[in-house]
Structures are given as structure tokens and as C-alpha cells.
Amino acid sequence: MENKEEQKPRLNMASLRDSLGIFEFVRPYRWSFIIGLVLLFLSSTVFMIFPYIVGIMLDVAQGKEVPVQLDLWQIALLLVVVLAFQGVVSYFRVMLFARVSEGSSADIRKAVYQKLISLPVVFFEKSRVGELVSRMTNDIEKIYNTFYFVLAEFIRQIIILIGGVAFLAWQTPKLAGVMLLTFPVIVVGAMIFGRRIRKLSKERQEILGDSNTILDETLQSIYAVKAFTNEAFEANRYGGSNDSVIKLSMKYASGRALFATFIITVLFGALFFVIWTGMRMVQSGEITAGQLISFVTFTAVIGAAIAGLGNFYTELVGAVGATERVREILKTPSEVEERSQVNRPAVDIQGNIEFENVQFAYPTRNDVPVLKGVDLSIRAGQKVALVGQSGAGKSTIMQLLLQFHRPEGGTIRLEGIDIQDFDLYSYRSHFAIVPQEVILFGGTIKENVLYGKPDASEAEITEALRKANAFDFVSAFPEGWDTIVGERGIKLSGGQRQRIAIARAILRDPAILLLDEATSSLDAESEKLVQEALNRLMEGRTSIIIAHRLATIREVDCIYVLEGGYIVEQGTHETLSAIPDGAYSSLAKLQFSNAAPAAV
């Protein structure tokens, strides 16, 4: 993500031009938008009749000559008709803008979500979840409010301002000139206050995103919070963040209050001066009392429009900032867009894998090389294990194989073809992974199993659950596989979650299976059931296993030992165990000597 200074919204031609790109989401609703604008213009124009009619009514009441030959009752009837027409037009205008705002905002949310899940893993490694959630909620809500209310009202106030000034210049040009003298002061003041308010609005949005991040991190790590009895610490941390939000929000409110005070003071001062001038003109007979009332009413309406423009201007600037942040996500290249467009379909995949002098460092810490020249070869159907100390690069090999990252040097081949040449979706469809920490979605067991193959039949689901040793415990639940697993699978035990993940992988029927410490956190009974399910899953397919517990990989075809970014040993368990002072044999002696049952 860009730093905060770079994200600072600026209202210039470049930012406006970029922000206008968001109107591509209005295109499907363009006729509703256009008709809504026509009705907005119509209702705003009709509104301008009221101050004029008020002046005519006063002149008619005083027996003065007026442009229209109507009595007071006829004028009252005309006002009723105009009000009814105004009400109907306003209703349809609001409904049309609601259709535009609801539809376009939903389309933006869907587009941003689809873009987010298509972005490369490195984007999420550099971003904070709370900030991304804030963009999906707060920023899109700002855009929604702009389409629904702010933009329409901003245009409405402009129409009233221009129409009112034009009418006054025609009806009472001398008074209009006096009134227009106040414009430069108001405009300059609005620009100064608007810049300050815009800055405070952006800062408030950012600090609110930081507060959401704390909330998100705390809820995701609730077990750690409770285990370390840090509820009070987290409450203070979140409270402190909210105090900062309040402090900045009050500065923001103070700025808006000062702006409103400035506008009201200047406008009322100008209004009283204009009324005084108008009274003198009535006294001299230059204008009638009705014309003065019309003028004062128009001036009040114009003043309200100017004040409204100031407020809506700050709202629009905030929307420009929100639009820039949303479009920043939409313009970020997806995984597919970053790749060379070879897009070779991955067909007839058996699982022959080759790493040739592969070098890699994570983009978030590119000064620390993880792999410094890895060579390995896996034949189709082989079961191989990757062992080594934490940080040796075992999980990195899996991530490179899944194309979560691209090697900085060397080549990875599948069936003799550089994996970068494959269509990414069809390539990954041949993989399944069973991680150490299984994260399930918050729906039902069935929905989680179907994640491996969304169109699977119930018979296929049942068979997958049986092979995963999960059928019995699933059947024991009152609701069977329609049981809700809770957020992240919290309602299931670790062994149960692991077997659901295995069932999901079985249903996927991959050519290549990746097992990342799949049994390391289980008790003995759960490990036995999970290991049996894994053995069934590995039958007839290329399997790559990351393991710290060497007892689980004795039967694999080949073990690769990583150390310092290199593969330092490879061979079977027996072969590597026989190497005196070898890296593997040292690990094996350490583990197996500690595996003896402790005295009770």
C-alpha cells in the first residue's frame, strides 16, 4: 500500500479526472441518472418561482400594478398547483437517484471484492486487513452518499445560485450589484476553510481505519488475547485509538463550525446591508415593496445555496479521496494481469515437478534471501518430504509451487514446462493443500467440503467424508453435514477441522497434494485418524509433505533436507539416518531420543 502522505487527496484536475472514472459504474443506470438530473433541474427551476410569487402577492395586496392579472385567491391556487408539481417531481427525482446510488454502489462493492481476491499474495502481505475493510465499507459508503444525495444537492445549489443571480440581475440590477460585492469574500473564505476541513476529513478517515484494524486484529486473535489475559490491554489500546478519533473528529467539527460561522456572519451582514439599501430604494420609489420582498427572499435562498455549496464541496472532496482509494485497488494489476500472457492450459498433469537453481526472497523483506539455489526433482506419484529448521524455506517452496510468488532466479517446471507459462486458474486446479492451521468458512460442514468441488453430488460428499474418517463424527451431529461450524471453524476440534480439510482435498481429486504440518498440532487419537485419511488421500498422486515430526515421513520416497536456503541432503529415511553427523540424522536422533515414553 502507499504511505499515508501519498494517499492524501488533492482536489486538482488530475484527481478529478481520475475520480470521474468511478462514473463507469453509473453507465448501466445512465438513463435514470440523466432523467434524475432533468427532474432536478426542473424542480430547482420551479422552486425559484416561490420568491417571485411572494413579491407579487404583496404588490397585489397593496393594489400595485403587477405583470400578471390575478387576485390573491388565484395566486394561492397557483401556489398549490406549483407545490403539488414540485412534490411529484421531487419524489421521482429522489427515487431515480436512489436507483443509481444503490445499483452503482453495489456494482462498486462487487468489483472491488472481485479485484481484491484476484490480487497477488504480496499485496496482502503489504496491506493491513483493517484498512482494506475500511475501503470496502467507509469509502464506498462515501461514494454511495455522493451518488444518492451530495452530488444532486450540489448541482441543485448551483442551479439555484445561478438562477437566482440571473433573476435578480434582471429584476433589480442595482441591488444585485450590491449583493454580488460579497461574493469574493465568501469564495475566498470557503476555499481557505475547505482546504483545512478536507485535510482534517482525510486524517479522520485514516485514523478511523487504524481503529478498525485494531478491532479486526483483536477479534481474529481472541484466543491469544484471552490466553495472555490481555483484555484490559486491548481495551485500552482500542480506547486510546478511539480517543484519538474523537480528538481529531472534534477538530474536524470545530473547522466545520468555524466555516458555518463565517458563512452565516458574512451572509447576514451582507443581507442586512442589502435590506437597508433596498428600503432606501423603496422610499425613493425606484422599486416596489413586493420587489424588495422578492429580492430579500431570493438573497436568502442564494445565501443558503452558497452555504450549502461550502458543505457539499467538502463532502465532494471527501468523496474524491474515497474514490481515489477505491480506484487504487481497482487499478492494481491482478495476478493474471501481472503474468506474461502465455496462458497455456494445464492439461494431462501427472505431477512431475522440477526446481532448477531456484532463488527467492520475500518482497516484504527482499534483503533476506530464503532460497539461494534449490534443485529438486519429483516424479509423478512420488511422496516427498521437506524437513529443516523453521525459516529454512519449506513453506516457501510450496508457495512458489502454487505461484503465490515468483522466483527471483531459476525455473520451476511442471511436466517439463515452466509453470509461468500455464493459465493460472487451470494450473492451480491440479493442487490441493491441507495446512497445519485449517481455517474453515463460517457456514456448514457441507459448504466447507464443497469448497473443493462446488458441483459435487451428495454421494461424492459422503464418500469424501468416509475417506477422510470424518463421516462418523459428522453423522453424530444432530444436523449432520448441515451443522454450522462457526467463524473459522471454531465449533469443531482441531482434529475435526483437519479431517474436513482432508475431505475437501479428496473431493478436489488433485494431481498434486501439499501437506503443511497436517498432524503436528493433534493429539494421538486424532493424529491416528488424520494420518489414516492422509494415507488414503496420498494414494496415486504426487504428494509434498512439510514435517517437523520425522516419525510421520519414514515411508516417503524421498526426503529433502533444507538448511540455509539450500538442499543439503536428500534420500530415504534409512539412507539419511545412516549418515554420521548428517543434518537429518541429527534431527532424527534428537526427536526419537525424546520420543521415549516419560515415567508416570
* Each residue's pLDDT tens digit, 16-70: 565 666 778 888 888 988 898 888 888 888 877 777 777 777 777 766 666 667 6
Q: How confident is the model at residue 413 (pLDDT cuts 50, 70, 90)?
A: very high
Q: Which residue has the cell 486524517?
A: 203
Closest by CA to 497, choosing from 435, 577, 451, 415, is 435
Kindly state the percentage of the chain with pLDDT values over 70: 88
Task: Note the pTM of the prediction, 2 decimals.
Answer: 0.69
Is the pLDDT at 113 greater than 80? The verdict is yes
pLDDT over 60 (residue 13) = no
Give me the pLDDT at residue 261, please.
79
Of the candidate CATH numbers 3.40.50.300, 3.40.50.150, 3.40.50.10330, 3.40.190.10, the domain formed by 344-429+551-600 belongs to 3.40.50.300
Q: What is the pLDDT of residue 583?
A: 83
Tell me the average pLDDT across 64-92: 79
What is the second-level CATH architecture of the domain 11-336?
A: Up-down Bundle (1.20)
pLDDT at 593 over 70: no
| pLDDT at residue 88 greater than cutoff 80 | yes
Residue 276, class by beta-carbon neighbours within 10 Å (0-12 exposed, 13-18 middle, 19+ buried)? exposed
| Amino acid at site 514 | L
Mean pLDDT score, 342-354: 83
Residue ranges, comma separated, of all CATH 3.40.50.300 domains in the chain are 344-429+551-600
**Rounded (10°) angle between helices 231-284 and 289-331:** 150
- Mean pLDDT check: name the lowest of 328-337, 408-417, 505-514: 328-337
Q: In what order do the strands lie in the sheet with 558-563?
A: 431-434, 512-516, 542-546, 383-388, 558-563, 566-571
CA dist 267 → 179, 190, 302, 587 (Å): 10, 12, 10, 82
Whether the per-residue pLDDT at 3 is higher than 60: the answer is: no
Condensed to tens digits (0 to 9), the pLDDT of residues 160-199 reads 778 877 877 787 787 777 777 766 666 666 667 777 777 7
For the residues 143-151, what does the mean pLDDT come to?
77
Over residues 365-375, mean pLDDT: 86
CA atoms of 301 and 278, how far apart (whole Å): 17
Whether residue 600 has pLDDT greater than 50: no
Q: What pLDDT, on a 0 to 100 scale, did the predictor assign at position 105?
A: 85
Output the nine-digit C-alpha cell for 542: 504426487
Considering the chain, tell me which residue range(s) the CATH 1.20.1560.10 domain(s) occupy.
11-336
pLDDT of residue 357: 92
Instruction: Write down the H helix ranges in 432-523.
Output: 445-450, 458-467, 471-476, 494-508
Structure confidence at residue 354 (pLDDT)? 92
Residue 145 has pLDDT above 60, yes or no: yes
Burial class (CB in 10 A: 0-12, 13-18, 19+), 71: exposed
Q: Is pLDDT of 6 > 50?
A: no
Backbone φ and ψ of 510, nearest 5°: -80, 160
> CB 318: neighbour CB atoms within 10 A?
22
Q: Containing H/E element for 107?
A: helix 72-118
Smallest CA-to-CA distance from 402 within 535, 512, 503 is with 512
pLDDT digits (tens, 9 = 90+) for 288-306: 777 777 777 777 777 677 7
> What is the pLDDT of the chain when averaged over all its residues?
79
Q: Note the helical H segments in 221-230.
A: 222-227
Q: Specify the length of the chain in residues.
A: 600
